[in-house]
Amino acid sequence: MEVKQEILTPMKVEKTNGNVPTPPPTTTTTTVMDDDLFDDEASPPQPNKKLKAENGSIKKLTPTPKPAPVTPKPTAAVNGKKPIPKKKPVDSSSDSDSSDSSSDSDSDSSDSDSDSSSSDSSSSDSDVPKKKPISKIPNKPSGTVSKTSKNSPKTTTTTTTTTTTVKSKPAPKVKPEQSSSDDSSSDSSDDSSDDSSSDSSSEEEKPKKKPSKKPAAVKKEITVKKETTTTTKKTPVKKEVEVKKETKTTTTKKVKKEESDDDGEDEKTTTKKKTTTRKRKLKEEEEGEEEEEEGVNKWWDKEDDEDDGTKWTTLIHNGPVFPPAYVPHGIKFMYDGKVVKLTPKQEEVATFYANYLETDHVKKQAFKDNFFKEFKGLLTSEQKEIVKKMDKCDFSHIHTHLKTKKEQRKARSKEEKDAETAEKKKIQEKHGFATIDGFKEKVGNYMIEPPGLFLGRGQHPKTGMLKQRIMPSDVTLNIGEGEVIPPSPIPGEKWKEIVHNNTVTWLAFWRESVNGGFKYVWLAPSSKIKGQADRKKFEVARGLKNCIGDIRKGYQKSFNDESTEKRQLAVALYLIDFLALRVGNEKGEDQADTVGCCSLRVEHIKLESNNTITLDFLGKDSMRYLNTVQIREDAYKVLKTFVKGKKPTDLLFDSLTVTQLNNHLKKQMTGLSAKVFRTYNASITLQKELDKMDTKEFQSIDEKILFYNRCNREVAILCNHQKAPPKNLAETMSKIDEKIQELRDLQDLCRIKIGKTPKSQQEDIESREAERLPKLIQLAITNKKDKDKEKTDKEISFDVKAAFEKSRTLPDAKGKIKEKIAKYEEQIKKQEILKTGKDELKTVALGTSKINYLDPRITVAWCKKNKVPVDKIFTKSLRDKFPWSDVGTDYIF
DNA sequence: ACTAATGACTCAGAAAGATATCT
DNA sequence: CAGATATCTTTCTGAGTCATTAG
């Protein structure tokens, strides 16, 4: 049923990038809160009901027997475009909660107030944004943290506790000094030292360019070192290096293992290993223990560094890894039926294209045109005589070759796979970590992006252009002063530049060829440097909670200001706050046409009746935002004047710039900018939703998780986080339906046997049953693979039939039959839940908000309170990312 | 003094890979 | 238990935000 809708979405869809179906268009209106409420801090963020509307109300979980039948709501409006103005959100079926949540979002203002006050008390740093003075060396999280005590050696977190626990061992200190000792890093360092020397020498040759553009602003006295410098010191350097090396190694060693899995102990950390599960588990445990031995940098328990603009004191790493050189395959490329011989370079580019032959990319004219231009640019003049039109190029042989290769790869033996992973691991050990201020940290993206075709999202004018291969001479490294400079991994190549800029956090950067943009190598999210920034982000958002009331009052007051600028600013801010829109910076012509709040054009908004507006535009990543919502009457009236007399392509907020808006916000609160509203509204929404949990209804862990996901979903809808529906969604859904029907029929058969009335007509049951057997047989025949190869179709058919009949045989005892009915009921329930969950989440992406917008402490507190293991909600990498989120159940955002 | 351009960092969904579940 | 398939995680890299600098 609902199936189809995605497909039909209106043209708009196309605009979104081909594969992303637009969100379902249905819209609903939401009511606005009243002024008064609004004034309060608590005003609720708003309503992007679009997705929500789509499937109608959320079904209740039904722990109780009789699950409500899942009715797929009318998802009706399928076709987007114009939403019907006010469709009532919840349908009858929905129950209270869903309805509540939607409409009310506003209502609960009160709590926020209270929260605010309490907030301070709760977690560690209470302070508001900006910097915090707090001291407290030891564990500061006052909450109830069960957290690991600082010294106990292996604390295992209690189940519910959070995130990674830390290991024991006092954190190593930051000082690098130390005696020498062995060196684990020997190879790298050794090599490097040699190479580096050479490097440096080479570097000295080209000292001049340094001054020109340094990516990093060298502020204050950061030393930006160019090769020159290095050179000068060269000799000395070497020496120093040696010494340093030793020290360093030790340090490293000490620190090693900082990255722990910590909960490895408990059952499921997921390291990826391809051993069987059992094995894997064992392994993990071992690892876990090992790690326990080493110290960890529990930065979150310590006082924050003061914010003086420097991001680190010492920084050591081995540089990024470059993609392997191209290996020509010699497969023919044809033009107009004739083979055209290609050089390796040409062949490489042709191969990039061939790889996309079966994708939607090649359906875009821009992709083909851009590619062809690039490709032609590589051809010799003789070749150009022949190759003139893209349409006559035939990359199919190459494409076939690629496919074969892919299959081969998939089929490679276990040994090969193991060897490959071992190799990967080795590289990761060397390049995947950096030592920063004496602690070993994971590097996020230490692999340089391979060359290929640029795949922009949506209607990007540059899609299909060639992304050039990046060489060491394109890459600038940022490394601690005096540290060993890693040798260039490619012989004959030198690094573009070496800098020592401790006001930034990148380890390396290069410029990408298509848009001339910067690409950086950063530390992983689990690193202290990222973690602190992340925590700070949430602290700023929490700080907003204290001023949100004033800010709201402020902009509401300005709706009628005499200055157009002020009025526009006020309304824009209102939309950002209420609808969680992005701010919308200006964009160039050479980018996809997407907008945010400040860049909205008149064509993106429709003023309906009853103070309702419909926003329909492509936002970040060309994701369609479609929402019909009722807004404040005063805002509506002003908006009307902004639209008046303008062309569809004119800016809605023509007198407003993003800079003005942010400057205004900065004045209201330190650290405040437009994006903070998204973080704030997302987190506060999660907290409010979670607070609504009815513990009677959601009892099992699975039910609680389902509940959590629903709360998470509210946030995802608010932020318009979407995903393409699974490819075979329709199929999966109807499969589930079929299964449910079958279970029901089986139940009925049981009922008939014991003389009870079945739920459906006996003939219907029989006819459905009659259809099932042949289907099963057919399926078994088609599926017979190597395994039953020797069996004839007849035999299979016979076997299947036997199995089928066996499954329909009922015991004679009445009690047993009743048991059976109950069992089926359970299975049905399970399927219903599954279906409901799938339906609710088919186009909603929960991940983005979980990773970026939701204060993890809210989740941790909820988990503890409800005895849900955190690892059911946070994956390993999320737990690693939020080691600082271990708070007590009383944490309030 | 003000824009426009830079630079650095956060946030996005898809693709790829790993694991779990089904048959 | 094996292989297929569904689902969950991680990787990848494009696309925003926004403060700072350049002109």
Report the CATH number at residue A790.
Answer: 1.10.132.10
Residue A173 lies in a domain: no
Is A101 a member of any domain? no
In the set A555, A636, A708, A853, the catalytic residue is A853
Asked whether the predicted pLDDT for residue A832 surpasses 60, the reply is: yes
What does the pLDDT read at residue A185?
Answer: 36
Query: Do A447 and A520 share a domain, yes or no?
Result: yes
Is the pLDDT reported for residue A662 higher than 90? yes
Per-residue model confidence (pLDDT) at position A412: 77
Find out whether A257 and A439 touch, Cβ atoms under 8 Å.
Answer: no
If you measure CA to C1', which residue is closest to nucleotide C14? A456
Listed range (A139-143, A530-534, A620-624) with the worst mean pLDDT: A139-143
Which nucleotide is the nearest neighbour of A672, by CA and C1'?
C18
- How distant is C1' of B17 from CA of A420, in Å? 14
d(CA A175, CA A120): 33
Domain boundary among A631, A666, A682: A682
> Is residue A552, in this structure, part of any structural domain at all?
yes
Q: What gap in Å lies between CA A144 and CA A270, rounded to an integer? A: 27
Grade residue A790 by pLDDT with cuts at 50, 70 and 90.
low
pLDDT at A256: 35
More confident residue, A283 or A576: A576
Residues A468 and A562 occupy one common structural domain = no
Which nt sits closest to A518, CA to C1'?
A: B7
Protein CA A624 to sugar C1' B1 (Å)? 39
Range of the domain at A360: 334-411
- Residue A625 designated active-site: no
What's residue A363's pLDDT? Answer: 93
Amino acid present at A161:
T
Residues A534 and A658 in one domain: yes
Q: Is residue A792 part of a domain?
A: yes
Output the pLDDT for position A142: 34
Residue A339, in any domain of the structure: yes
Q: 3-state DSSP call for residue A568?
A: helix
How wide is the angle at C-alpha A582 spanned by C-alphas A578 and A585, nearest 5°?
140
A864/A715 same-domain check: yes
Q: Are residues A578 and A513 in the same domain?
A: no
At A651 the pLDDT is 95
User: Among A653, A682, A711, where does a domain finish?
Assistant: A682
- A583 and A711 in a single domain? The answer is no
Distance A891 CA to C9 C1' (A): 28
Question: In CATH, what number is assigned to the domain containing residue A480?
Answer: 2.170.11.10
- Residue A352 sits in a domain whose CATH number is 1.10.10.41
Q: What is the pLDDT of residue A793?
A: 67
CA-nearest of A438, A441, A463 to A452 is: A463
SS3 track for A111-161: HHHHHHHHHHHCCCCCCCCCCCCCCCCCCCCCCCCCCCCCCCCCCCCCCCC
Q: What is the mean pLDDT of chain A?
A: 72
> How many percent of chain A have pLDDT more than 70?
65
Query: How far in angstroms lies nucleotide C18's C1' from the CA of residue A713?
Result: 28
In the structure, what pLDDT confidence band is assigned to residue A809 with cuts at 50, 70 and 90? confident
What residue has its CA nearest to the C1' of C5?
A: A732
Tally of structural domains, chain A:
4
CA distance A187 to A170: 29
Residue A816 — very low, low, confident or very high, per pLDDT cuts 50/70/90? confident
Number of helices and strands in chain A (H, E): 27, 15
A561 in the same domain as A454: no
Distance A563 CA to B1 C1' (A): 22
User: Is A115 part of any domain?
Assistant: no
pLDDT at A121 over 50: no
Q: Quick check: A443 and A523 in contact, CB under 8 A?
A: yes
Closest nucleotide relative to residue A273's CA, C1' based = B18
Contacts 24+ apart (CB under 8 A), A306-311: A306/A131, A307/A131, A309/A219, A309/A220, A309/A503, A310/A222, A310/A502, A310/A503, A311/A502, A311/A503, A311/A504, A311/A505, A311/A529
Residue A389: the pLDDT is: 94
More confident residue, A521 or A407: A521
CATH number of the domain that A678 lies in?
A: 3.90.15.10
Per the listing, tokens 């060309």 go with: A622
pLDDT tier for residue A218 given thresholds of 50, 70 and 90: very low
pLDDT at A632 over 80: yes
**pLDDT band at residue A757, thresholds of 50, 70 and 90?**
confident
Of A279, A266, A303, the residue nearest A164 (C-alpha) = A266
Q: What's the Å distance between residue A381 CA and nucleotide C19 C1'?
A: 48
Q: Are residues A755 and A878 in the same domain?
A: yes
A396 and A423, same domain (yes or no)? no
pLDDT at A46: 56
Who wins on pLDDT, A62 or A45? A45
Residues A495 and A543 both lie in one domain: no
The nt closest to A213 (CA vs C1′) is B6
* Confidence grade of residue A710 (pLDDT, cut at 50, 70, 90): very high
Range with lowest mean pLDDT among A165-169, A616-620, A747-751, A803-807: A165-169
- Sorting pLDDT into bands at 50, 70 and 90, what band is A731? confident
Q: Both A675 and A713 in a single domain?
A: no
What percent of chain A lies above the pLDDT cut of 90? Answer: 48
How does residue A198 score in pLDDT terms, banded at 50, 70 and 90? very low
Query: Encoding tokens for residue A244?
Result: 């340093």
| pLDDT class of A730 with cuts at 50, 70, 90 | confident
Domain termination site, one of A524, A554, A575: A524
Closest residue, by C-alpha, to the C1' of C10:
A877
pLDDT at A807 exceeding the cut of 50: yes
pLDDT-wise least confident of A278-282, A411-415, A817-821, A867-871: A278-282
Task: Measure the CA–CA gap between A451 and A447, rounded to whole angstroms.
Answer: 12
Count CB-CB contacts under 10 A for residue A169. 20
Which stretch of A260-274, A425-439, A785-799 has the lowest confidence by average pLDDT? A260-274
Q: What is the per-residue pLDDT across A547-575, written as a single tens digit (0 to 9) for each?
A: 999 999 999 999 999 999 999 999 999 99
Checking if the pLDDT of A693 tops 70, the result is yes
pLDDT(A614) > 90: yes
For the CA of A846 and the C1' of C7, the distance in angstroms is 15
Determine the nucleotide nearest to A598 by Cα–C1' distance. Answer: C17
Measuring from the CA of residue A875 to each C1' atom, give the nucleotide at the shortest distance: C9
Q: Which nucleotides of B are covered by protein (CB under 7 A)?
A: 6-15, 17-20
Nucleotides of strand C within 7 Å of the protein's CB atoms: 3-4, 6-22
Q: How far is the CA of A865 from the C1' of C3 (A)?
A: 42
Pairing state of beta strands A497-499 and A476-478? Answer: parallel
Of the two residues A575 and A126, the one the predictor is more confident about is A575
**Is A846 a member of any domain?**
yes
The answer to whether position A403 is within a domain reads: yes
Which amino acid is located at A31 in the chain? T
Higher-confidence residue of A174 and A483: namely: A483
Bridge pairing between strands A439-442 and A333-335 = unpaired
Nearest nucleotide from residue A501 CA, by C1' atom: B8
Residue A783, pLDDT score: 60
Q: Which one is predicted more confidently, A518 or A87?
A: A518
Q: How far apart are CA A19 and CA A458, in angstroms?
A: 9
**Residue A203 CA to B22 C1' — how many Å?**
60
Q: Are both A871 and A724 inside the same structural domain?
A: yes
